[in-house]
């Protein structure tokens, strides 16, 4: 379900959970049906720093791509277990 579908549900039914979405493109190691590695942890940490109803992406993930939504100015975030802060942008989907 997308942020937009959740917002519509919230408007129509006066309730929907606030979902945080994080995007990060990187290599991952496949372990059976699961994936692991530093990049997977970075993606989870990006989602963890998003606010409810927000979509955050690492700036590198969207670099050079044609994006049909407006993006916020990049900001540096510190991610748990990651030594260096990384730049993220919010996708303005509303």
C-alpha–C-alpha distance, residues 88 and 91, integer Å:
10
Q: Given CA atoms 78, 90, 61, 24 in this order, what sign does their dihedral have?
A: positive
Kindly state whether residue 80 falls inside one of the protein's structural domains.
Answer: yes
- The beta-strand segments (E) located in 1-94 are 21-23, 29-31, 34-36, 55-58, 70-71, 75-77, 86-92
Whole-number pLDDT of residue 26: 86
**CATH code assigned at 60:** 3.30.70.1230
The pTM of this model reads 0.74
Would residue 6 count as lying in a domain? no
User: Would you say residue 12 lies in a domain?
Assistant: no
Range of the domain at 35: 20-92
Q: Is residue 71 part of a domain?
A: yes
Q: Which of 7-21, 23-37, 48-62, 66-80 has the lowest mean pLDDT?
A: 7-21
Mean of pLDDT values over 16-33? 86
> Is residue 45 situated within a structural domain?
yes
| Per-residue tokens: 82 | 């990651």
* Residue 13 belongs to some domain of the structure: no
39 domain-assigned: yes
Residue 59 lies in a domain: yes
- The SS3 call for residue 48 is helix
State the total domains in the chain.
1
pLDDT in tens, 41-93: 899 999 999 998 898 999 988 877 667 778 888 999 998 888 899 999 998 87
Give the residue with greater pLDDT, 69 vs 23: 23
């Amino acid at each position: 379900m997308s942020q937009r579908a959740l917002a519509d549900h919230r408007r129509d039914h006066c309730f929907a959970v606030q979902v945080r979405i994080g995007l990060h493109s990187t290599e991952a190691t496949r372990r059976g049906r699961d994936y692991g590695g530093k990049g997977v942890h970075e993606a989870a940490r990006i989602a963890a720093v998003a606010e409810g109803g927000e979509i955050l992406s690492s700036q590198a993930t969207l670099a050079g791509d044609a994006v049909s939504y407006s993006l916020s100015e990049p900001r540096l975030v510190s991610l748990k277990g990651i030594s260096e802060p990384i730049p993220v942008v919010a996708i303005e989907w509303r």
